[in-house]
DNA sequence: GAGTTTGAAACT
DNA sequence: CAGTTTCAAACTC
C-alpha cells in the first residue's frame, strides 16, 4: 500500500541508507532575523545508535505552505537515536470520532492564527524565530483505514491522488496549505508515509532557514521488515531535497536497525494539542506540530536534533530547539498542555495502541504500545526561558494542550478516554483557547523512562534512562514521546476509555490486542511480557535506588513486596528526583547492561563487566551469568569460570539443560496425568440417567470387587498348582513371573466382564428410560 | 522461612 | 579512583 503515486516514488531514493545522494542538496538559508547555524557539511549519520554525533547541527526551516503566508518552522537535528517521532502541536481543536467508522476526523476549530515561533538551541545558542499567520480552513481527517494516517494540511491533491493511485483511500488531515501525511505500515508491505509540511511558492513565508527552495518537504517513511525508510516526496513542484531532509532521512534510517526483526514496530508519535473539551466521544484536538525528542546518548557531544514545528493556531507557539520536557512535575503547570500524541507503529501484524487517561498526574497521558514494553507515553509540555535577543522581538508561545494519540499500523486500536471530566482535568488541566497566548515558553517533551529495552524497535531507546530527554527523531519534526513503565499503565487502566480501531482492524470492536514479539535483551517481548517481572523486596531503598530491580528497569513497582515504596505515581516527585540522581551519578544507569559487544565479540555482553570474586561467575550473583552470557574482557572478576571453554561452565550448562528437560518432562507428565485423571473422573461419573456414553461406576460395587479378588486368588492358586505339577524345573523367579502374568490376565478378564456388564446395564437403563 | 553469601550500588 | 558500606537478590540450610 502506498499513498504516493508511482511517479513520486520514482523520485524517491530507494534506500534511506543511501544518504550520500542527498547530502549535496541545497539547504535552507538563514534569514536575517535568525542566527541559524549552517548545516554541517558532515551530514553523515552513524548507523550505530551508540555512535555519538561529533558535531551539533541544528537546521531550522520555515515553510510557508499556505496562501495566507503561514509560517512553518522546521528545525531538524540529527541524533543517533533510531526513534522517529512526530509531535505536532496545535491549538486547533480536533475532534476525534470514536464511532465505529474506520475514519475519525480531526477538525480544527481555528480558522486563523498568528504565530510567532522562536526556537533557541540551548547548546548552540542559535535560535529561530518564525512568525506568520496560519489559517486552517479545511478540517483534516485522520483515517486509520489502510493502516495509515495522513495529515494533509494542504488540500494536496498529490497525496490524495497518490493514494488513489495506490488503490487506497487517502486519509488526510487537511490544514489548509500544508500537508502532513503519515502512513504507517501495519502489515507487511504497507509503507509508512510521512509528508511533512509542504511549502509552496507563496510569499510571506518566514523561513528560519531562509530557504524557500527547500520547501515542500514531503517525506515518505517506509518500513519494510525491520527497516525504516524516510523518503522525500519530491514530486511536488520540483522541490529539492534539502539538507534538512537529507538529515532527516539519515536520522530515520537509524531507527531501523535489526533487520532480523521484521516485526519491529516503528513508532511515530504525533503530538497534537488537544482541546480539553473534546472529552466526548469526539475529542477536540488542537492541531499543533511541536515537540519531539531524541537526544543522543552521549552527554558530552553536542546533540543534533530535528524539530518540526508547525503552528496552526492563533496563539503563538514556541518550538523547542533541542529538547522537549515532558515531565509534568517539573514544568510550570500554567504553561503546560496536555499533548495528544500519535504513535504509529510499524509492527507487522495486528497491533494497537491504547491511550490511557492518567488518573493521578495532570498534563499526562499514557500510551500503551502493545508488543512493546514501552507501554506508556507521557507528553508534557514544559516551559523554559525562551530565546533571547531575537530580532523578531519577544517570542511568545501559546499554551498547548495535547493528548497522546497512538496510531499503529496493522490492526490499530486507538483508545481515547471517555471520562474526561476527571481525566481531562488531569490530562488537560488548562485547555487552550484559540486566542490564548502565553509569554515565551518552550515546549519540551521528555522521554520519561523506557520500560525495557527494545533493541529491535528502537535501539537507542533501550539505552535511554528514565527522564532522558529525547531529541527530535530524525525527520520526525516536533515529535516526542515519553515512555514509562508498563506498571504505570496498569495503574491507570482503571479509567474507562474508548477504543478506536483503524485500518482493516480499525473498525470498532476489533480483535484482541496482539502483542508484538520482539527480542528484548535476547528475549522476545512475548517472553518478557508473559513472564511476570519478579517483585522486589526492597525495604530500605524505597525502591528509588538501583538496588531495586523495578526502579533499575525503569518500571514502577507493581505487586511487589517492598516496604515504603516510592517507586510509584504517588511519589512521582521523589521518583523523578531519584532518577535524576542516578543519572547524575551515572548517565548510563538506566541503559541495559547487556548490550552488543565489540566487533568480533559476542553479540551480547555486559556493558560494564562483572566484578565477581567468589562466585566464579557461575552463580546468579554474577550479572553476566545471570544474563546467560559469558564474561568478557572488560570483566574484572576473579577466578572466573564463565568462559567458553570452562568445564565448570559446560557442566553447569549441561546440568541446567538437563534440569530444564526434566522440568519440561515433569510438566508434561503432570499435564498428561492430570488430563487422564480428569478423563477418568469423567468416565466414571454415574450416567445411568444421563444417557451419555459413560459407564456407571456404581457397578464397581463391593460385591464386584470381592468377586474380582476371588477370581484373582483362584488364578494365583491355579498358577501355583501349575508350577508344582508341571514346571518343577523352573526357577522361582520364572514361576513368579508366570503367576503374575496369569493373575494380570485374569484381572483383565474381570475388568472386561465388569465393563460389559455395566454397558449392558446402561443399555437396558436407556431402553427403559425411553 | 531464617540466615548467609554475594556483588552491585551507594557512599566516603 | 579506591576503599567501605549499604542493599537486595541469590543461595543454603
> What are the helix (H) ranges across A152-220?
157-165
Beta-ladder partners of A135: A112
> Comparing A107 with A666, which gets the higher pLDDT?
A666
Q: A536 CA to C9 C1', in Å? A: 9
pLDDT value of residue A157: 41
pLDDT value of residue A619: 93
Q: A49 CA to B9 C1', in Å? A: 27
> What are the helix (H) ranges across A352-441?
420-427
Secondary structure of residue A113 in the 3-state scheme: strand
Is strand B within 7 Å of residue A620 (CB)? no
Is strand B within 7 Å of residue A615 (CB)? yes
Q: A649 CA to C11 C1', in Å? A: 18
Neighbours of A492 (CB within 10 A): 24
Beta-ladder partners of A484: A376
Residue A625 has pLDDT above 70, yes or no: yes
Could you write out the DSSP letters of every residue in A25-51? S--PPP-TT-BPPPPPS-----SSTTS
CA terminus-to-terminus distance, chain A: 64
Contact predicate A292/A271, CB 8 Å:
yes
pLDDT value of residue A192: 38
Residue A209: φ, ψ to 5°:
-80, -15
Q: For residue A246, what are the contacts with CB-CB under 8 A and spacing of at least 6?
A: A19, A22, A23, A25, A43
Q: A648 CA to B9 C1', in Å? A: 29
pLDDT digits (tens, 9 = 90+) for A235-256: 333 344 333 343 333 333 333 3
Is strand B within 7 Å of residue A387 (CB)? no
pLDDT digits (tens, 9 = 90+) for A105-115: 333 333 333 33
Q: How far apart are CA A140 and CA A84, in angstroms?
A: 22
Q: What percent of chain A is predicted at pLDDT more than 70?
A: 25
Burial class (CB in 10 A: 0-12, 13-18, 19+), A112: middle
With CA of A619 and C1' of each nucleotide, the nearest comes out as C10
Residue A14 has pLDDT above 70, yes or no: no
Is strand C within 7 Å of residue A546 (CB)? no
Contact predicate A241/A475, CB 8 Å:
no
A415-A349-A227 Cα angle (round to 5): 105
Is strand C within 7 Å of residue A620 (CB)? yes
Contact predicate A451/A464, CB 8 Å:
no
Protein chain A, residues 628-657, with a C-beta closer than 7 Å to any atom of nucleic acid strand C: none
Percent helix, strand, coil in chain A, to 5, is 25, 15, 60
Is strand C within 7 Å of residue A613 (CB)? no
Domain boundaries, chain A: 534-591, 599-645, 701-722+734-769
Q: What percent of chain A is predicted at pLDDT more than 90?
A: 8
pLDDT band at A170 (very low <50, low <70, confident <90, very high): very low
Contact predicate A192/A148, CB 8 Å:
yes
pLDDT digits (tens, 9 = 90+) for A332-366: 333 333 333 333 333 333 333 333 333 334 344 43
Q: What are the distances in angstroms from CA A759 to CA A219, A677, A699, A751?
A: 76, 21, 10, 12
pLDDT value of residue A721: 81
pTM over 0.75: no
With CA of A626 and C1' of each nucleotide, the nearest comes out as C10
Is strand B within 7 Å of residue A639 (CB)? no
> Comparing A420 with A220, which gets the higher pLDDT?
A220
Contact predicate A266/A346, CB 8 Å:
yes
Q: A631 CA to C12 C1', in Å? A: 25
pLDDT value of residue A618: 92
pLDDT digits (tens, 9 = 90+) for A599-623: 555 577 788 889 999 999 999 999 9
Residue A274 has pLDDT above 80, yes or no: no
**Range with the poorest average pLDDT among A20-34, A128-142, A410-424:** A410-424
Secondary structure of residue A195 in the 3-state scheme: strand
pLDDT digits (tens, 9 = 90+) for A432-479: 333 333 333 333 333 344 343 333 333 334 444 444 434 333 333 333
pLDDT band at A598 (very low <50, low <70, confident <90, very high): low
Q: For residue A711, what are the contacts with CB-CB under 8 A and spacing of at least 6?
A: A746, A747, A749, A750
pLDDT value of residue A597: 61
If you count them, how many residues does chain A have?
A: 770
In strand B, the nucleotides that come within 7 Å of a protein beta carbon are: 5-11
Which range scores top for mean pLDDT: A173-187, A677-691, A693-707?
A693-707
Residue A585 has pLDDT above 80, yes or no: yes
Is strand C within 7 Å of residue A549 (CB)? yes
Is strand C within 7 Å of residue A541 (CB)? yes
> Comparing A201 with A670, which gets the higher pLDDT?
A670
Contact predicate A45/A244, CB 8 Å:
no
Q: A566 CA to B10 C1', in Å? A: 18
**Range with the poorest average pLDDT among A256-260, A460-464, A589-593:** A256-260
Cell numbers of A394, please? 519577544
Q: Which of A403, A438, A498 is nearest to A97 (CA)?
A: A498
In strand C, the nucleotides that come within 7 Å of a protein beta carbon are: 6-11
CA atoms within 13 A on the CB side of A414: 41
Q: What are the distances in angstroms from CA A768 to CA A118, A689, A691, A754, A765?
A: 93, 10, 11, 21, 5
Q: A553 CA to C8 C1', in Å? A: 15
Secondary structure of residue A626 in the 3-state scheme: helix
> Comparing A42 with A728, which gets the higher pLDDT?
A728
Protein chain A, residues 526-545, with a C-beta closer than 7 Å to any atom of nucleic acid strand B: 545
A197-A384-A570 Cα angle (round to 5): 105
Amino acid at each position: 500500500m502506498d499513498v504516493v503515486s508511482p511517479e513520486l516514488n520514482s523520485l524517491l531514493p530507494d534506500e534511506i541508507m543511501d544518504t550520500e545522494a542527498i547530502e549535496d542538496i541545497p539547504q535552507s538559508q538563514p534569514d536575517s532575523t535568525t542566527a541559524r547555524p549552517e548545516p554541517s557539511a558532515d551530514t553523515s549519520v552513524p548507523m550505530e545508535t551508540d555512535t555519538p554525533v561529533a558535531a551539533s547541527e541544528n537546521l531550522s526551516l520555515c515553510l510557508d505552505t499556505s496562501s495566507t503566508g503561514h509560517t512553518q518552522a522546521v528545525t531538524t537535528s540529527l541524533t543517533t537515536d533510531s526513534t522517529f517521532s512526530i509531535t505536532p502541536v496545535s491549538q486547533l481543536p480536533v475532534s476525534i470520532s470514536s464511532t465505529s467508522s474506520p475514519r475519525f476526523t480531526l477538525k480544527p476549530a481555528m480558522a486563523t492564527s498568528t504565530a510567532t515561533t522562536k526556537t533557541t538551541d540551548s547548546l548552540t545558542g542559535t535560535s529561530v524565530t518564525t512568525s506568520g499567520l496560519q489559517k486552517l480552513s479545511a478540517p483534516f481527517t485522520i483515517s486509520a483505514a489502510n493502516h495509515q494516517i495522513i495529515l494533509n494540511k494542504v488540500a494536496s491533491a498529490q497525496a490524495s491522488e497518490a493514494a488513489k493511485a495506490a488503490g487506497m483511500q487517502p486519509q488526510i488531515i487537511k490544514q489548509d496549505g500544508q500537508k502532513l501525511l503519515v502512513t504507517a505500515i501495519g502489515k507487511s508491505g504497507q509503507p509508512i508515509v510521512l509528508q511533512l509540511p509542504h511549502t509552496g511558492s507563496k510569499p510571506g513565508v518566514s523561513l528560519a532557514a531562509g530557504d524557500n527552495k527547500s520547501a515542500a518537504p514531503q517525506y515518505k517513511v517506509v518500513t519494510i521488515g525491520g527497516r525504516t525508510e524516510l523518503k522525500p516526496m519530491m514530486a511536488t513542484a520540483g522541490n529539492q531535497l534539502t539538507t534538512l531532509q537529507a538529515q532527516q532521512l539519515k536520522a530515520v534510517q537509524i531507527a531501523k536497525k535489526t533487520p532480523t526483526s521484521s516485526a519491529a514496530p516503528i513508532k511515530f508519535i504525533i503530538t497534537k494539542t488537544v482541546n480539553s473539551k473534546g472529552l466526548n466521544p469526539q475529542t477536540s484536538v488542537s492541531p499543533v506540530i511541536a515537540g519531539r525528542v531524541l537526544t543522543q546518548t552521549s552527554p558530552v557531544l553536542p546533540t543534533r536534533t530535528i524539530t518540526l514545528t508547525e503552528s496552526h493556531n492563533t496563539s503563538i507557539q514556541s518550538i523547542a530547539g533541542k529538547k522537549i520536557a515532558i515531565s509534568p512535575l517539573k514544568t510550570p503547570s500554567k504553561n503546560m498542555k496536555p499533548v495528544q500524541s500519535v504513535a504509529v507503529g510499524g509492527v507487522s501484524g495486528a497491533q494497537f495502541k491504547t491511550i490511557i487517561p492518567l488518573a493521578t498526574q495532570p498534563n499526562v497521558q499514557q500510551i500503551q504500545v502493545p508488543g512493546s514494553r514501552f507501554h506508556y507515553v507521557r507528553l508534557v509540555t514544559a516551559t523554559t526561558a525562551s530565546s533571547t535577543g531575537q530580532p523578531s522581538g519577544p517570542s511568545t508561545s501559546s499554551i498547548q494542550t495535547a493528548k497522546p494519540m497512538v496510531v499503529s499500523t496493522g490492526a490499530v486500536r486507538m483508545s481515547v478516554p471517555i471520562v474526561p471530566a476527571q481525566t481531562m482535568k488531569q490530562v488537560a488541566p488548562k485547555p487552550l483557547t484559540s486566542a490564548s497566548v502565553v509569554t515565551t515558553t518552550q515546549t519540551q517533551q521528555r522521554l520519561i523512562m523506557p520500560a525495557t529495552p527494545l533493541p529491535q524497535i528502537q535501539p537507542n531507546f533501550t539505552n535511554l534512562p528514565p527522564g532522558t530527554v529525547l531529541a527530535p527523531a530524525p525527520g520526525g519534526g516536533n515529535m516526542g514521546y515519553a515512555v514509562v513503565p508498563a506498571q504505570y499503565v496498569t495503574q491507570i487502566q482503571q479509567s474507562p476509555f474508548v477504543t478506536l480501531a483503524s485500518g482493516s482492524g480499525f473498525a470498532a470492536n476489533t480483535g484482541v490486542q496482539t502483542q508484538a514479539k520482539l527480542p528484548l535483551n535476547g528475549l522476545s517481548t512475548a517472553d518478557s511480557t508473559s513472564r511476570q517481572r519478579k517483585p522486589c523486596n526492597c525495604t530500605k531503598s524505597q525502591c528509588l535506588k538501583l538496588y531495586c530491580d523495578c526502579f533499575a528497569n525503569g518500571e514502577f513497582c507493581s505487586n511487589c513486596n517492598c516496604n515504603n515504596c516510592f517507586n510509584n505515581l504517588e511519589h512521582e516527585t521523589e521518583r523523578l528526583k531519584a532518577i535524576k540522581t542516578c543519572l547524575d551519578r551515572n548517565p548510563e544507569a538506566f541503559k541495559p547492561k547487556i548490550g552488543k559487544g565489540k566487533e568480533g565479540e559476542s553479540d551480547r555482553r555486559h556493558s560494564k563487566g562483572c566484578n565477581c570474586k567468589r562466585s566464579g561467575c557461575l552463580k546468579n550473583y554474577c550479572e553476566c551469568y545471570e544474563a546467560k552470557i559469558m564474561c568478557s574482557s572488560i570483566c574484572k572478576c576473579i577466578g572466573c569460570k564463565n568462559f567458553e571453554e570452562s568445564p565448570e561452565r559446560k557442566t553447569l550448562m549441561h546440568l541446567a539443560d538437563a534440569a530444564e528437560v526434566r522440568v519440561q518432562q515433569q510438566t508434561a507428565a503432570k499435564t498428561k496425568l492430570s488430563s487422564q485423571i480428569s478423563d477418568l473422573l469423567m468416565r466414571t461419573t454415574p450416567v445411568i440417567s444421563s444417557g451419555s456414553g459413560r459407564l456407571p461406576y456404581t457397578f464397581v460395587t463391593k460385591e464386584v470387587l470381592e468377586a474380582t479378588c476371588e477370581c484373582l486368588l483362584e488364578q494365583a492358586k491355579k498358577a501355583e498348582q501349575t508350577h508344582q505339577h508341571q514346571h518343577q524345573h523352573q526357577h522361582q523367579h520364572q514361576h513368579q513371573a508366570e503367576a503374575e502374568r496369569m493373575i494380570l490376565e485374569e484381572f483383565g478378564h474381570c475388568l472386561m466382564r465388569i465393563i460389559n456388564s455395566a454397558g449392558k446395564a446402561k443399555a437396558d437403563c436407556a431402553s427403559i428410560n425411553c
